[in-house]
Amino acid sequence: MDTFIEVKPQKKIFQRIYLSIMLWFVGRAIQAASRVDEQVKNEFNTMPDNYTFSLGAFPHGPYMVIGKDDNGKVRYLGSDIEKQPVDLELTLKSMAHFFLLFTFMESTPTANSRDRMCVNGDVPPACAAVRILDIVQVYLLPKFIAKLAIKRYPRWSFKRHTLDRALVLIRTLIGF
């Protein structure tokens, strides 16, 4: 390289599309799990009404926003973080880190220990959000993949593994 060059920031199109699809799916799955799973319901009960949290990558997403309304109902609020105020932001420091997390090359605790994640908001709801994410991943993913994504695969009842999982998957697909 003999001359001075300026490199304009480029896009990672494939990673952005993959992560957007994954976040859309996980967001709807969190909404579904909050209606089916007792543990997820309890985690959301610890959060105040009208509480919203987001998960995304620095600096411009993609994002997933989850909110709890006045009646305690949990909703997936889409991918636009500007639309509503967000009480808790879980941000991965780069899209590459987010991609590692959502391709299950790194589990959430590993990503956290490698300083890939930062939280803007209160720590207890952030821990609750991570626990919810773990549960939802167990619902959505086959065991051999879920094992890569979470710290320890849980011992659930037969009903939770079969009936509840089926309900979460159906509700995720139809968005109810």
Partner 1 sequence: MGMEPTEFTFLCRTKTSFGKSALDHLPFDLSSMGAHKPFVLQDNQTSESHCTKPLIQAFKESEMTLGIYPALDRECPVDMETLKNCYQLFTDKGFDSIIALGGKQVVDLAKVLNMAVSWGPEALETSHEHSVGAPPLVPLAYVPTTAGDGRETDCSAIFNGKRFDLPGLAPDIALIDQSMMARDTLNNIVNAALTCLAVSCETLALSKNPPARAYAATAVGLVMTPLFALLNKDTYSDTTIFPNNKKDQYHLSCLVHASAITGYLITNVRSLIGFKMGNAMPKSCFASPGRAMLVVLPAILEIFSNTDSDMDLLLLNLLGQDAFCTIPSSQHGVTAIQTLRNILNNLYGLSKGAIPRTLADAGMNSGKMDIYFKAICQQEFDVDPDKIKAILIHSFDGQPMAQG
What is the contact surface with partner 1 in residues (CB under 8 A)? 1-12, 15-16, 57-60, 93-97, 100, 114-116, 118
User: What sign for the dihedral angle of Cα 110, 103, 75, 158?
Assistant: negative
For the CB of residue 64, give the shortest distance to partner 1 in the complex, in Å: 17
How many Å separate Cα 49 from the centre of its chain?
A: 20
55 or 140: CB nearest partner 1: 55
Residue 42 Ramachandran class (φ > 0 left, ψ -120 to 50 alpha, else beta):
alpha
For the CB of residue 16, give the shortest distance to partner 1 in the complex, in Å: 8
- The answer to whether the CB of 98 falls within 8 A of the CB of 19 is yes
39 or 94: CB nearest partner 1: 94
For the CB of residue 96, give the shortest distance to partner 1 in the complex, in Å: 4
55 or 74: CB nearest partner 1: 55
66 or 101: CB nearest partner 1: 101
For the CB of residue 114, give the shortest distance to partner 1 in the complex, in Å: 6
Q: State how far the Cα of 12 lies from the Cα of 95, in Å rounded to an integer.
A: 9
Nearest-CA neighbor of 95 among 23, 30, 5? 23
Instruction: Write down how long the chain is.
Output: 176
